[in-house]
Structure 1
Amino acid sequence: MSDRPLTLLAVHAHPDDEVTSTGGVLAKYAAQGVTTIVVTCTDGRCGDGPNGVKPGDPGHDPEAVVATRRRELEASCAALKVSHLETLGYHDSGMMGWDTNDAPGSFWATPVDVAAQRLAALIEKYQPDVVLTYDENGGYGHPDHIQVHRVTMAAVELAKPAKVYMSAMPRSMMVKVGERMREMGIGLDGPAAEDAPPMGWEDEDITTRIDVSDVIDQKFDALSAHASQGDGAFFLSLGRETFSLVMGVESFVKVGDSADGNETDLFN
């Protein structure tokens, strides 16, 4: 029997994505002695600049945003006790339909097989027991998240890790978030709006739920590290107690093998 520690590798699109869907499991398993690796595929250059300035607006310096988000990513991974951080360095593709989708060097414009070979090399290097990725829609349709799914699935065909899971936000969770927003008087639009099409997975399709309430403070601190971005502001505004109620369970769908929906450990 090998005495090599169990190993978990999570593939993400941008700096800060490592927290929202997998920050809890990264911290939880790191505390148990599991080797944890975060692979961040893009540099986040289409994120917010100082004072929330958006790409293309005066004052948005993509290279400065990249540098800031790299520092924040490192701080976040430190809070989660991540063992190794790997970055592929592709350019952030921006939201679907932006000109940046097709810009040279963007992740969306990169052939899947090219990026998959790079990711497969990391899988072969670290030999993870579990790989985490997104679902086919990338959770909410962002091109870089969709590309993460495509690239990861192509890479695992090449490197064949033991188990693969997709992050899966249950619809009941989305409902809970919407309720909290209404209670707080926060305006609802986009995916949070009452008349928007349902997002997330049907609860009965979730195969795996991991209770991360014991490391929720680390998850909160890791999200706080990404201070330059407004994406996590709502969750942080909940305060630690409500944040724990909303974000204290991370859910996944196991790829390939069937599961009965009662799995509570990624390494079972």
Structure 2
Amino acid sequence: MALMRRQELEASCEVLKIGDLEMLDYADSGMMGWPSNDAPGSFWQTPVQEGAARLAELMRHYRPDVVVTYDENGFYGHPDHIQAHRITMAALEMTTLSPKVYWTTMPRSMMQRFGEIMREFHPDMPEPDPAEAAAMAEIGLPDDEITTWVDTTAFSGQKFDALAAHASQGENIFFLKMGKERFGELMGMETFVRVQDATGAVVPENDLFAGLR
């Protein structure tokens, strides 16, 4: 499975025209609460300072102008997303770099639309229990707290093809069932919260490189 995912990731990067791919080869930890969370070598079990030191070395090499990672909750509580946040922020502290830093998130209006489309494709989906519904309502941020709205509609076909190349990830199947047109309607806007900036670019902004170009 690890080899398959590496090959799929490489194929996705080729579709997206990513020039440099660095693999740190940590094992997938699975969803929160799964036994794989505790497996030796899983990303969730990696000491933050160890992972951060490896990432800081790459940052010093590439000297990024912009760094993007998950928010503190990994968007929806995925352990590897949370760990990616912790390690990225710790790595930045280990360097003397001062890039623009963004946490990826979703406005709650978009989450509501996402839920409507899920029911469109799965009309027999049961109603969530109150606790689950309350947890879902807390995913993302109020629209007015989003600092950065980037229209990626022109690239939605590439994004769809990149997901198709990475189809072993089960969460991608739902998006692929939409087809490219509906996928573009739902996923044509990427949203972020800017948490570090030395450019003084005014927010809300529509470009991660605002103030740098």
Output the TM-score relative to the length of structure 2: 0.88
The RMSD of aligned alpha carbons is 2.1
Please identify, of 94-103 and 122-131, the stretch whose mean Cα deviation from structure 2 is larger. Answer: 94-103
Partner of 1:263: 205
CA distance in 1, matches of 2:201, 2:81: 25
1:223 is displaced (CA, Å) by 0.6
**1:173-196 deviation digits (Å, cap 9, x = unpaired):** 1111111122233425779x9834
Aligned partner of 2:53 in structure 1 is 117
Whichever residue aligns with residue 99 of structure 2, its letter is A
2:121 is aligned to 184
Contact 1:116 1:151 in 2 (8 A): yes
Say if 2:141 is the partner of 1:204: no
Task: Number of aligned residue pairs: give it.
Answer: 203
- Find the aligned partners of 1:204 and 1:180 in 2 and give their Cα distance: 23
Q: Match for 2:182: what amino acid?
A: T
**1:166 aligned residue (97, 100, 103):** 103
Correspondence 1:77 to 2:5: no
Q: Contact conserved, 2:32 with 2:79, CA < 8 A, in 1?
A: yes
How far off its partner does 1:267 sit? 0.8
Partner of 1:235: 175
- Gap runs ≥5 in structure 1: 1-64
More strand by share: 1
2-side partners of 1:188 and 1:202: how far apart? 26
- Tell me if structure 2 keeps the 8 A contact 1:190–1:196: no
Distance 1:262 1:255 in 2: 13
Shift of 1:116: 0.2
> 1:229 and 1:99 mapped to 2: Cα distance?
18
8 Å CA contact 2:104–2:192 kept in 1: the answer is: yes
Deviation at 1:259, TM superposition (A): 7.1
**AA aligned opposite 2:71:** D
**1:194 and 1:142, CA in 2 relative to 1: closer, same or farther beyond 3 A?**
closer
Change (3 A) 1:124 1:236: same
Q: CA deviation at 1:108?
A: 1.2
Q: Distance in 2 between matches of 1:93 and 1:189?
A: 28
Q: What SS is found at the alignment partner of 1:131?
A: strand
**Equivalent residues of 1:131, 1:161 under 8 A apart:** no
Distance apart, 1:98 and its partner CA: 2.3
SS at 1:132 equivalent? strand
**Separation of aligned partners in 1, 2:126 and 2:9:** 28
TM-score (norm 1): 0.71
In the TM superposition, residue 68 of structure 1 has moved relative to its aligned partner by 0.9
Say if 2:99 and 2:196, in contact at 8 Å, map to a contact too.
no
Equivalent residue runs for 1:52-201 within 5 Å: 65-159=1-95, 160-186=97-123, 187=125, 195-197=133-135, 198=137, 199-201=139-141
Q: Would you say the 8 A contact 1:96–1:143 is kept in 2? A: yes
Task: Give unmatched runs, 5+ long, in structure 2.
Answer: none
